[in-house]
Amino acid sequence: MTSIDWAKVRADFPILAQQVNGKPLLYLDNAASSQKPRAVISALVNYYERDNANVHRGLHELSSRATDAYEGARVKVAKYLGAASAEEIVFTRGTTEAINLVAQTWGARFVREGDVILLTEMEHHSNLVPWQMLAERTGARLRFVPVAEDGTLALERLGDLLTAEVKMFAFTHISNSLGTINPVAELCRAARAVGAVTLVDAAQSIGHLPVDVREMGCDFLAFSGHKMCAPTGSGALYGRAELLDAMPPWHGGGEMIVTVSYERSTYKKAPARFEAGTPNIAGAVGLGAAVDYIEGIGRATIFEHDLALTRHALARLGELPGVRVQGPRDRRGGLVGFTMDAAHPHDLTTFADQHGLALRGGHHCNMPLMKKLRLPGTTRASFYFYNTKVEVDRMADILAEAVRFFA
């Protein structure tokens, strides 16, 4: 494994060198959104200062540079995901839009009354609500793989739930509130055996560990750029080419058509078919720069680093009275959700902020899961490669002070 100068890496993130409420910023809200390195910020500035123009349609120098940058980013994302070709990458605003795209277009074509959409009890609202909307429109039914006591999926129930009526099995790679890492390849294999299509929500894994769609064997995968050092409003849907080309378009407009008459239109193949109108060109350029930046460190190295911080956090939180960590002890990603007997998550998060510590408190867009766990919510600390062990210790000290303060 290459040795990384983590202090040098951290210095790439200008936002981290500031005081908040009179204390050095301690940013542990990375599962909500990551910070951006200078390489990504410069790619945006460079694009706007030198190359900015509309893509595809222009027959002038700047337009062809912008097109090259936009399509070049698609190639980078395809390689990053291990996709068979760049045509399997549709740029979206992020995970939410990517899942809605599948629910609305694949769903409209392939889901009928009585069909089953299988989800898990740990899905983020963005991998739940679009399927509820599809079920309402079509008369399809939703089923859920339960979450067991230890925060993992109750896989022994899969045989009963994953029946021939299941048309779609959509699940998260890493739970954003429990930290659980799901056995994606195993779930995809089980779905394939009954002819179900799979969608992986990779929002929490995409910037944290190696993600390869062909190793996973998934049909669709959705992710957000802003959680992997890229700009907000960037992200993508991966879809197997034959599935994307069998799906009807969703947004109509420029760029997605072959011919248009007053009465009707014909549509391009994927990905253009799903990218109507002027896209987020700068966002895609920034996403491409983020891919280069993360690959420069290496995803396996990032995962190891995140994991070391998580283990340290689990040990330090374990020392605090009345603090209970949610989720499994092993096989977990770089985030820790916990409760503190003495304080509501919102009060604790506000207390932390007074010390310059950015945590997240609440239901984390997992309302049904919180209800099942009988929790008002949790407080979540989430780590990324620019965080340090010293920061985890500082977090633990602030939380120890909170235990005394709220007692």
Interface residues with ligand PLP (CB under 6 A)? 32, 94-96, 124, 126-127, 172, 176, 201, 203-204, 224
The DSSP code sequence of 243-287 is: HHHHSPPSS-STTSEEEE-SS-EEEPPTTGGG--SS--HHHHHHH
Place of tokens 């500035």: 45
Three-state SS for 87? helix
Q: Considering the complex, state which of residue 126 and residue 387 has its C-beta at the smaller distance from ligand PLP.
A: 126
The residue among 294, 223, 317, 293 whose CA lies nearest residue 28 is 317
Q: Considering the complex, state which of residue 67 and residue 105 has its C-beta at the smaller distance from ligand PLP.
A: 105
Length of the chain: 407
Whole-angstrom Cα distance, residue 261 to residue 350? 57
Tell me how far, at minimum, the Cβ of 309 lies from ligand PLP, in Å: 18
Tell me how far, at minimum, the Cβ of 95 lies from ligand PLP, in Å: 4
Tell me how far, at minimum, the Cβ of 51 lies from ligand PLP, in Å: 26
Q: Considering the complex, state which of residue 20 and residue 32 has its C-beta at the smaller distance from ligand PLP.
A: 32
DSSP H helical segments within 298-341, as ranges? 299-317
Q: Considering the complex, state which of residue 115 and residue 123 has its C-beta at the smaller distance from ligand PLP.
A: 123
The residue among 75, 100, 70, 95 whose CA lies nearest residue 85 is 75
Q: Considering the complex, state which of residue 125 and residue 311 has its C-beta at the smaller distance from ligand PLP.
A: 125
Q: Calculate the alpha carbon distances from 28 to 157, 207, 213, 228, 268 in Å.
A: 35, 15, 28, 14, 43
Tell me how far, at minimum, the Cβ of 26 lies from ligand PLP, in Å: 20
Tell me how far, at minimum, the Cβ of 58 lies from ligand PLP, in Å: 30
Give the residue numbers marked as catalytic. 365
The DSSP code sequence of 15-68 is: GGSSEETTEE-EE-BTTT-----HHHHHHHHHIIIII-S-SSS--SHHHHHHHH
Q: Considering the complex, state which of residue 96 and residue 378 has its C-beta at the smaller distance from ligand PLP.
A: 96
Tell me how far, at minimum, the Cβ of 384 lies from ligand PLP, in Å: 14
CB–CB of 159/186 below 8 Å? no
Q: Calculate the alpha carbon distances from 301 to 5, 13, 225, 306, 360 in Å.
A: 12, 18, 19, 9, 25
